[in-house]
Structure 1
Amino acid sequence: MGITVQNITGNTAMVIWPKMAGCVDSFYSIMYHPNWNSMLSSYSRKSFQKEERVPTSLSSYVVENLTPLTTYIVCVTCQSANPSSDQCRVFNTLEQDPASASNTKKELALGIWLTSSILLLIIAAILLYGCLHLLCRRRQECLQGRNRTSKQDHRKVWTRSAAYDPEELSRQSQLMQDIEEKHPGGIQLATIIGNPSACKEPITAASKSWEQVPATGQCSATN
């Protein structure tokens, strides 16, 4: 059949074959396998490790991802038929190209760097979320404490006001009673003492010993 293998490297090889008249409306099957041993393996499609299908418009194909310094067998058939010995070729891959090895190391280092960066970003995001959550929680606790203190202050003020008002009223009532006992006819005097603003209006004296001074709007007592 005239299959040839060219441009062999440590990882690739180009397979070239002549066109087959019976594969015009079908496809070509390219099968290859490493460490081929004709004594132990047959030319059955199941014996090959990998198989590629290419359109009939092509007459060459680059096999990739090969292992350096390895013996391979490659076969080309029409459709999915089992190959014969004249449809196969054995070749050996070369040592790995230094440039290819360098590219592989760079790709590996880049992959490790990207993975590490993603992990660090995830860890940083988790830590930031935890700090923000803790800060918000402390702020809420501080606001709740302030609200409680404010409510307690309001309660204290209200309690003092409630306790002060009855005491003041009792004191004024006792004062009025004392004045009434000392001066039975001087009820208006007690009213004036309890509410001094009442002196601004004219008052009719309740006893002969009290007089009104309308000129100044104040009250005075005369014997």
Structure 2
Amino acid sequence: MGITVQNVTGNTAMVIWPKMASCTDSFYSVMYHPNWNSVLSSYSRKSFQKEERVPASRSSFVVENLTPLTTYIVCVTCQSANPSSDQCRVFNTLERDPASTSNTKKELALGIWLTSSVLLLIIAAILLYGCLHLLCRRRHERLQGQNRTTEEDQGKVWTKTTAYALGELGRQSQMMQDTEEKHPGDIQLATIIANPSACKEPVTLASQSREQAPARGQCPVIN
């Protein structure tokens, strides 16, 4: 079985083999292992590090993720059978491909950039949350201060109103006392009129003409 290995690089190699009639309705097994030595000369399937199954319609396969500057053995069999020496081929990988090195560096830089971006977004979200929390707290404190000021103003207005009402009441009481001192007779007559029961007893008014007091139960007419 003429197996050939082409397009070998530091990380990949293309394995080509002729089609087998016994694998028409089955699959091919591509097995490879690094650092081949006499210990693995038995060609047992268990001795190989990697094994890939390829559809029977294909006759080539690209082996990837190889180690640069390493000797590999690759074997191709039908239906995972143990390979023979004519079904295997030994090849050496090259130095690391400059393109793959560049791609690795790009992937590393991209990973660092993505990580940094995620960290910056997290920090920005934390700062934004802190600012919003501080603004809400200051607004709440300002509203509480306004409410306290309004309550104090209402208390002052109520105190002033009460003091004014008490002052007015005191002035009216003083005016009534002054009126009683100046016109005691008028207050007594007003009291008599306000209390009709006082008219049940005869009242004799002392005067120069000594007029007869009104009859019992009658009230004098006061002009």
Kept after mapping to 2: 8 A contact 1:69/1:94: yes
Q: Does 1:162 align with 2:167?
A: no
Letter in 2 for 1:92: N
* Root mean square deviation of aligned Cα: 1.8
Kept after mapping to 2: 8 A contact 1:41/1:47: no
Shift in Å, 1:70? 0.6
Letter in 2 for 1:106: K
Alignment of structure 1 residues 111-130 onto 2, 5 Å: 111-130=111-130
Per-residue Cα deviation, 1:9-62 (whole angstroms, up to 9, x for no partner)? 111100001111111111111111111213356422222221111111000011
Q: How has the CA–CA distance of structure 1 residues 58 and 186 changed in structure 2, closer, same or farther, with 3 Å as cutoff?
A: farther
Alignment of structure 1 residues 6-21 onto 2, 5 Å: 6-21=6-21
User: Residues of 1 paired with 2:41 and 2:133: CA distance?
Assistant: 66
Per-residue Cα deviation, 1:74-96 (whole angstroms, up to 9, x for no partner)? 11111222222221111000111
Kept after mapping to 2: 8 A contact 1:74/1:89: yes
Where 1:72 maps in the other structure, the secondary structure is strand
Kept after mapping to 1: 8 A contact 2:3/2:15: yes
Where 1:25 maps in the other structure, the secondary structure is coil
User: How many residues matched?
Assistant: 187
What is the aligned partner in structure 2 of residue 206 from structure 1? none
Kept after mapping to 2: 8 A contact 1:179/1:186: no
User: Residues of 1 paired with 2:113 and 2:101: CA distance?
Assistant: 18
Where 1:39 maps in the other structure, the secondary structure is helix
User: Residues of 2 paired with 1:185 and 1:64: CA distance?
Assistant: 131
Kept after mapping to 2: 8 A contact 1:28/1:55: yes
Letter in 2 for 1:9: T
What is the aligned partner in structure 2 of residue 33 from structure 1? 33
Name which of structure 1's ranges 131-140 and 174-183 shifts more when overlaid on structure 2.
174-183
Letter in 1 for 2:183: H
Where 2:19 maps in the other structure, the secondary structure is coil
Gaps of 5+ in 2: 188-223
Letter in 1 for 2:122: I
Kept after mapping to 1: 8 A contact 2:40/2:47: no
User: Residues of 1 paired with 2:172 and 2:42: CA distance?
Assistant: 125
TM-score, with structure 2 as normaliser? 0.78
Q: How has the CA–CA distance of structure 1 residues 175 and 4 changed in structure 2, closer, same or farther, with 3 Å as cutoff?
A: same
Name which of structure 1's ranges 6-15 and 42-51 shifts more when overlaid on structure 2.
42-51
Gaps of 5+ in 1: 188-223
What is the aligned partner in structure 2 of residue 183 from structure 1? 183
Kept after mapping to 1: 8 A contact 2:14/2:61: yes
Shift in Å, 1:186? 6.8
Q: Does 1:173 align with 2:187?
A: no
Kept after mapping to 2: 8 A contact 1:68/1:96: yes
Kept after mapping to 2: 8 A contact 1:73/1:88: yes
